[in-house]
A = this chain, B = another copy of it.
Amino acid sequence: MVHPLVPSDRVEAAAVYGRDGQKIGTIERLMLEKKAGTVAYAVVKCGGFLKGNTHHYPLPWNSLNYNVAREAYEVDVTLEELQSGPSELDGKAFDWGDRSPIYQYPQYWTL
């Protein structure tokens, strides 16, 4: 039987692969609607190896398809497409103490 629930700390740190089979990044955290307790979107962390710049992209929950064999999420988008979108929260360090710099377009693409 497939379990209907998944623990948040299993989702976090899971890899995300794009339509082209390339790895986009890993899920860093989930943004939750406080009242409803619903995942608004996942924040995917990309890069940060060479330039020290880590980029963060929002991906709607329903865009994430878990591939059991791969043990990773797959999305119908590529890193290039994400990078071309307005939703990037540049390489600044995340400061959750300041909640104002939220993604302006958390759902600029949907599936």
- A binding-site residues for B, Cβ under 8 Å: 3-12, 28-40, 43, 61-62, 66, 96, 99-100, 102
Contacts and interface: CB of A to CB of B under 8 A. Distances in A.
**Total identical chains:** 2
10 contacts: A3-B99, A4-B34, A7-B29, A7-B32, A8-B8, A9-B12, A9-B29, A30-B32, A37-B39, A38-B39
Interface centre among A8, A10, A96, by most chain B C-beta atoms within 10 angstroms, is A8
A62 B6 CA distance: 18
Nearest to A35: B4
B8 A32 contact: yes
Contacts of A36: 38
B5 A29 contact: no
A7 B31 contact: yes
A24 to B, nearest CB: 19
